[in-house]
Structure 1
Amino acid sequence: MEIIGHRGCPVYGPENTIAAFKTASEYVDMIELDVQRCQTGELVVFHDTALSRLTQLDGAVPAVPWHKLSSVTIGDSTATIPRLSDVLSIFPSEVGINIEVKHGGMAEEIESLVETISNRIIVSSFIPHALTEFTTDTIECGYLFDSEWESQIEIAQSLGCDAVHPAYELVTPERIEKAHASGLQVNAWTVPDTKTARVLQQYGVDGAIVDDWTVVETPHPMHVETQTIA
């Protein structure tokens, strides 16, 4: 089971920042990050639409120009909001990159940016039409959802996705088996603890999206005692 560092594993550094990505890259198989477009058109790496949770700025990312976003720090750290173009070059080639797109209209630019690197790329989104905009065969697509497994699997298949990214609470062995039979990998989010990670690994989950990379152990699933998610 691959370890996918959610927003760069914010347990160890401010989320979605270069500092967090550099640290997590030493411990995970893939980094997950969030991308949206700001007022002046730059693709910025930031999860929330609103800026207030993590910065001293009010307002929403799409309404703020890059020169203002680039000058604010995240929480009580010195880390700043990066652009997607700033972060792609920092990852070792063996570390995959999962780009969650927060809205449509970014595919062409993202495809152009990732042409310059050799990392495995997965683009994921809760928004079906945002995924249909990606056309290159070198980018994998993952459909995010947090409810209604069966209907969401049908959507993922209709989109031609390579993977589904469900909330971990939805996962069962039978659902994993059916997803795999349909040609879909399963990357579950956000896995909170070692017990849950152990169960998901036993179920056959392909990737665990985590805030803390240490929750995932490495033994083969056949050596894990049968358990269930509480």
Structure 2
Amino acid sequence: MRLIAHRGFADCHPENTLVAIERAVPNADMIELDVRRCGSGELVVIHDETVDRVTDATGRVDELSAAELADLDVLDTGTGVPTLADAADAIPGDTGIVIDCKEHGIATEAAAAASTVENEVIVSSFDAPTLDALETDDPTVELAYLFGLRADEDFDDALALDCAYIHPHWGHWLLTDAIDRAHDAGMDVNVWTIDTSIAIERLRRAGVDGVIADSPDVL
């Protein structure tokens, strides 16, 4: 079963930072990163629309430059908000990258930034149009549709988008036939967000291919 480090194992490490990436890599098959555009145009790795929660500063990410974001102290690491390019460079080639696009219009650029390194790359989003707009000639870049609670509609969207993966919420989808349906359609299933080993065993028996987790201890 593949282990994907959610924000670089956010329960153990300062989320979405280069520090988290460095510490998560030895225990993860892939690193999941949240990506959005900053005020100077670059793609940066941060979950929220503002820096308020993860730094002692305030302000919207789309109003701060990459240089200003780099000068912040994220979660007391002494390091700032990294660009996607820098984060991708910090991930060894044998560790995959999952890019969670947090806003519209960045999927193609995100895939291009990650394609400069020799990693397997999955571009994911809750938003079907965001994935549908992705244009890339890189065969190592694949799509993953993140599922909410509209099970049938979401599954149909994933099929229409020709996704290689679905990323459903584990509690909802464990009780359906979605795993078998996904496998029959040629899609792997990586479920989120897992926080107990008990859940892992249930999911393993159900046939999931990977788990997105906040700690490596779940395995």
TM-score by length of 1: 0.89
Aligned to 2:102: 102
SS at match of 1:52: coil
The more displaced of 164-173 and 140-149 is: 164-173
**SS in structure 2 at match of 1:25:** helix
Q: Is the Cα–Cα contact under 8 Å of residues 32 and 97 in structure 1 kept in the other structure?
A: yes
Aligned-partner Cα distance in 1 for 2:111–2:147:
23
State how far apart, in whole Å, the 1-side matches of 2:21 and 2:119 are: 14
Residues 18-61 of structure 1 deviation map (CA, whole Å, 9 limit, x = unaligned):
11101111011100001100111011000111221111222221
**Counterpart mapping for 1:52-63 below 5 A:** 52-63=52-63
Measured on the aligned residues, the alpha-carbon RMSD in Å equals 1.4
The CA deviation string for residues 112-138 of structure 1, in whole angstroms up to 9 with x for no partner, is 323322111000001111111223333
Greater gyration radius: 1
1:94, CA displacement in angstroms?
Answer: 1.1
Aligned runs of 1:112-131 on 2, under 5 Å?
A: 112-131=112-131
Scaled by the length of structure 2, the TM-score of the pair is: 0.93
CA contact (8 A) 1:25 1:95 kept: yes
Q: Secondary structure at the match of 1:164?
A: strand
Counterparts in 2 of 1:76-91, with a 5 A limit?
A: 76-91=76-91
Q: Give 5+ residue unaligned stretches, structure 2.
A: none
Contact 2:115 2:141 in 1 (8 A): no
**Whole-angstrom distance in 1 between the partners of 2:16 and 2:193:** 15
User: Which position in structure 2 is the counterpart of 1:185?
Assistant: 188
Residue in structure 1 matched with residue 7 of structure 2 by the alignment: 7
SS in 1 for 2:3: strand
State, as a whole percentage, how many aligned pairs show the same letter: 37
Structure-2 change in CA distance of 1:169 and 1:35 (3 Å)? same
Superposition deviation, residue 104 in structure 1:
2.2
Using the TM superposition, name which of 37-46 and 106-115 deviates more.
Answer: 106-115
State the aligned residue count.
Answer: 216
Give the whole-Å Cα distance in 2 for the aligned partners of 1:90 and 1:167. 28
Indicate whether 1:47 and 2:47 are aligned.
Answer: yes
Contact 1:14 1:79 in 2 (8 A): no
Match of 1:175 in 2: 178
- CA 197–116 in structure 1, closer or farther in 2 if over 3 Å, else same: same
Q: Is residue 144 of structure 2 the alignment partner of residue 142 of structure 1?
A: yes
